[in-house]
Amino acid sequence: MQLKGLLKSLICILISSAALLICGCSTLNFRYEYDKGMTAYKEKKYDEAIIYFNNALNYKPDSYSALCLLGTSYAYKKEMQLAEKTFQDAIRLFPNQWNAYVLLADIKRNQKDYEVAIDYYETAVTLESMGGKEKIYYKKLLKQIREEQAAYTINSPIAQQQSRENLKSEIVNTYTNKQVKPEEPLQTGEVFLSLDSKKWEKAIEQKDEKSKVIEYGLKGEDVKNFKWTQLVTIQYFVLTDNFKTTLNEYYNTHIGAIEAIAKNSNKTFEKKIIHQTNNEIFYEWKFDNSKETEIARIVYTPKGIYHIHFAKKGQFTNEEKAKYMDILKTASLK
């Protein structure tokens, strides 16, 4: 993919403008994963950057800079569908910020989808968030792109040929009875918990082709702004050639990140594995003298990893712990 010369300066603008709020353990986790992603991104280790930025978004799904950097990392890896979806998510969350429009327009331009690219560029130019110098640059660029579009239509037979090929494919599919081998059922990553609907409500849901996260908070609590007393988080990560791990490696990475936060902030941290088998781990931890505690279950499958957390500001009572352990044990994984 040809990313324009402006891309590096664009990313610098995003990074310098990112406001990371300091608000409890969730924000510390976000900052840790975001910084690791930035380091990997600068070193052009885009596979690692993708993992770290996805982790960061699990803690702060509305981070504009993390979304744009994740989308750019996907683009460098030629994973264009994921890149486009990530930029579209950024646009839906921040419709008045111009950066994601331009990044998505660059992809469409390189795909020779000029009409869509021009639409995104034109939208970006109309936004007040775009500075004067950038507006001048993109107005000139739009003129150049329209010239590219005209030359492509006139001089290249690709567009006409593509239309003919599509028609041929339709005819072949219509008159050919193909025997299609049934596909193996996909693992959806869905988790069903016996949560009391009168007490809990879904606050956040985010998913793509490689990961999924859902958070449930107590009714009336502002989970999106980290204002919660109890929280249920369900995560699912697809295992791919670019992301391979074992049950113990995943557990150690997760716990290691929290331990690092505790160490850097001079807070206490206690951890304990309650039960472990070949494919799952039940554990608990206490942070900052039990000001925040968690019990959780990690389940490893050949296709993906399920991670279900029950967290509380303060310490679980024995009754709460027994109840949540039962819910974890009986969780239905799809």
- Domain limits of the chain? 6-155, 191-333
Model confidence over 174-222: pLDDT tens digits?
444 444 455 556 788 888 888 888 899 999 888 888 889 999 999 999 9
Quote the CA–CA distance of 207 and 190 in Å, as a whole number: 11
Mean residue pLDDT across the chain: 83
Quote the CA–CA distance of 145 and 148 in Å, as a whole number: 5
Contact status, residue 104 vs residue 89, Cβ threshold 8 Å = no
- CATH number assigned to the domain with residue range 191-333, chosen from the 4 options 1.10.3470, 3.40.1000, 3.30.110, 3.30.70: 3.40.1000
Angle at the Cα of 50 from the Cα atoms of 48 and 51, rounded to 5 degrees = 65
Least confident of 96-105, 122-131, 186-195, 299-308: 186-195
Task: Give the fold, CATH level 3, of 6-155.
Answer: 1.25.40
* Phi, psi values for residue 311, rounded to 5°: -120, 155
If pLDDT is split at 50, 70 and 90, which confidence band does 161 have? low
Quote the CA–CA distance of 274 and 133 in Å, as a whole number: 59
If pLDDT is split at 50, 70 and 90, which confidence band does 170 have? low
Q: Is residue 127's pLDDT more than 70?
A: yes
Q: How far is CA 328 from CA 238, 298, 308, 313, 323, in A?
A: 20, 10, 7, 19, 9
Residues written for the chain: 334
| Amino acid identity for residue 108 in this structure | K
pLDDT (mean) for 131-144: 89
Model confidence over 292-311: pLDDT tens digits?
999 999 999 999 999 999 99
Model confidence over 8-67: pLDDT tens digits?
444 444 444 443 333 456 678 888 899 999 999 999 999 999 999 999 888 888 899 999
Which run of H or E residues covers position 205?
strand 200-207
Quote the CA–CA distance of 136 and 138 in Å, as a whole number: 6
Quote the CA–CA distance of 304 and 237 in Å, as a whole number: 5
Contact status, residue 203 vs residue 192, Cβ threshold 8 Å = no
H helix runs in the chain, sequence order: 6-17, 24-42, 46-59, 64-76, 80-93, 99-110, 114-126, 132-155, 158-175, 247-264, 318-330
Quote the CA–CA distance of 305 and 233 in Å, as a whole number: 14
